[in-house]
Amino acid sequence: MSSTNQPLLHTPHKTTTNCKILFITISISTLLISAVLLLPNLTNKSSHNYLSNPSSLCLRASNPQACQDFVSEVVSDEEIPLETTTLFRKILIKQAHHMNRAILQTRKLKSQINAHNEEGALADCLELIDLSIDLVFDSIKALGKNQTSKSNANAQAWLSGVLTNHVSCLDGLNSVARKSLGAVLEELISRAKASLGILAAISEQDVEMTQPLRGKLPSWITAFDRKLMQSRADAIKADIVVAKDGSGNYKTVAEAIAAAPNKSKTRFVIHVKKGTYKENVEVGKSKRNVMIIGDGMDATILTGDLNVVDGSTTFRSATLAAVGEGVILQDIWIQNTAGPEKHQAVALRVGADKSVINRCRIDAYQDTLYAHSLRQFYRDCYITGTVDFIFGNAAVVFQKCNLVPRKPMQSQKNMVTAQGRTDPNQSTGTSIQDCEIKASSDLEAVKSSFPTYLGRPWKEYSRTVVMQSYIGDVIEPAGWSEWSGDFALKTLYYGEYMNRGPGAGTSKRVKWPGYHIITSAAEAMKFTVRELIQGGEWLGSTGVAYTEGL
C-alpha cells in the first residue's frame, strides 16, 4: 500500500533490475532462435504461407507506412519469400527489444527526477511496460505452433493490451517526463499498432477474433470456478481467511494476497470476513487464479481514498488493483471515499485477463471503475459514480448489473462510460447487456440540473454498446455526449439494441456517423460474451451465471 507522501512504486534493487534485464535479453534471444527454426503457419488454410511482398502485411494497419518500415527492419531481399509466422514473430521480438530499452531509459529518468507526481507516473510506466513484455512473449508463444481461432483471439487480446499499456503510460506523463520519453513511447505505440495490423492481415477472419463481444458466461470460466461463483463464502473451503478480529490467518487483505502462491495453476481462495478494511491492495501479475470472496457486498468493505488532487496518479489511486490473470472478486464492496472534489479517484482497477467480478459493489465518484485492459466479465454488480465512472480499454461485458449515476459537483455532467479504444484492430470495447441504468436517490430529486449520458469517446475508436437493458429517464434524450467538438464522432462505434425504459427511446439520439441503432440480431451478437470476450472458453469454470448470446 502506497501513501501519497511516498514513491508510488518502490525502486527495485539495482542487482535485481540488472538480473531481470539480463533474463529478458536471454529470453528474447531464445525466442529469436526458435522463430528461425520453427516455421509454423499462422492460419489453418495451408501448411505453409510465404510472402513475395512483405508490405502486403501492412494493408490493415492504421499507419501502413510505419508498419512497412518496421517490417523492413527484420527482413532483407535475400530472405524473400519469407514464411509469415516467422516474420511476425521476428517483428514481435524486435518490439520486445525496444520495450526493454524503454525500461532502461525510464529507470534512468526516474532516478534523476525528484518531483513526486513525475516519479509516480514513471513508476506506472515501469509496471505497464513490464506487463507489456510479458504479453508480447505470450503472443509469440501462442503463434508458434498449431494456431487456432482461440490462439489467434488470445494474441489479439494480449497485443491489444500492449497498446493500451503504452497509451496509458504516455497519458500519465507530465511535461518534464514527456519531453524526455515522449518520442520513445510514441514509437512503442506505433510498433504495437503495426503488430495488431499485421495480425489482422495474416489471421483467419473468423467471428471470434474480429468481433470479440456475446451473452452467456465466457467459456474460460471452468466448471470448478462456476461452482464457486454460485456459492456463498460459508459454503467454500478457503485457503486463507482474513478477519479484523484475529480469528483468521491474517488481519489485512494485502497480507493474504502476499501469502498466496505465485503463478498458481489452480484456484486459490481468500475469504475476507465481514468488516471494513482500510487499505490499498494490489493483486500483482504473479498472483494468478486468486479468488477474493467476502461475506456480501454490504458486509465486507475494502476502502481507500487515494486521488489525483492529493498527489496520486489515476492509475495508482485504485483501492483495489488486479492484474493477476484469472482473478475473481465476489461479494465485496470496493470504495474510494475521496469524494467528488478530489476528481479522479478509482475504486477498482482491473488489468487482469480472464477476470470475473461477481456480486460486488463498486463505489466512488469520478473514474470509479477502471476497466483498464484485457478480457473482463461483471455480473450482478452495483456500480455508481459521476464523471466517466466506467472507463478504460478492456474487452468487457457487464450483465445484470445496476449502473447508477449519482449527484456530481455543480456544473458537472455524468457519463456512465468513457471507452478508450485507440486502434481499429484492437479487440476491445464495452458491452452493457441486460443491466439497469437508473439515478441514485440523491440524483433523482435534482436530475434535471445534472445532464447524464450513456457515454462519451475518450479515444478515437471508442466502442460501447448498450443492449437489452433498462434505461431510466435520467439519461438525456441525445443519449451520448461529445468529448471535445467533433473528435472521434466518425470513428467511434456506439450502438443500442432492444433496450427498454423511459430513457431508451432513440428518436432524439445523436446523429453521429459512428452511432448505430442496431436492428439486426446478428450485429448485436458481436457484442455478447461469446464474441467480445470469448466467454465460452473460460467463464464456464468460474461458476458465475452468465448469458452467452442474446
Catalytic site positions:
388
Distances in whole angstroms, Cα of residue 297 to Cα of each of 273, 479, 503? 11, 30, 28
Helices 149-172 and 116-142 pack at an angle, to 10 degrees, of 170
DSSP bridge pairs for 210: none
> Strand 515-517 to strand 493-497: parallel, antiparallel, or no bridges (unpaired)?
parallel
The full DSSP string for 189-256 is HHHHHHHHHHHHHHS---HHHHS-EEEE--BBS-HHHHHHHTS-GGGS--SEEE-TTS-SSBSSHHHH
Contact at 8 Å (CB) between 428 and 164? yes
Q: Which three cell numbers stand for residue 527?
A: 457484442
CB atoms within 10 A of CB 150: 16
Residues 6+ away with beta carbon under 8 Å from 122:
106, 109, 110, 113, 173, 177
Residues composing the chain = 550
What residue ranges in 279-364 does DSSP mark as E strands? 281-283, 290-293, 300-304, 320-322, 328-330, 333-336, 348-350, 355-358, 361-363
Residues 6+ away with beta carbon under 8 Å from 296:
274, 331
Contact at 8 Å (CB) between 371 and 430? yes
- Cα(102)–Cα(455) distance, rounded to whole angstroms? 34
Query: Both ends of the chain: CA-CA distance in Å?
Result: 41
- Cα(299)–Cα(274) distance, rounded to whole angstroms? 5
Phi–psi pair at 104, nearest 5 degrees? -60, -45
Q: Which three cell numbers stand for residue 159?
A: 497485443
The full DSSP string for 487-526 is TTTTT-EEEEES-BSTT---TTS---TTEEE---HHHHHT
Phi–psi pair at 82, nearest 5 degrees? -125, 140
- Cα(204)–Cα(202) distance, rounded to whole angstroms? 7
Q: What secondary structure letter does DSSP report for 263?
A: T
Q: How many CA atoms lie within 13 A of 25 on its CB side?
A: 9
- Cα(52)–Cα(83) distance, rounded to whole angstroms? 9
> Strand 547-548 to strand 213-216: parallel, antiparallel, or no bridges (unpaired)?
antiparallel
Q: What secondary structure letter does DSSP report for 79?
A: G
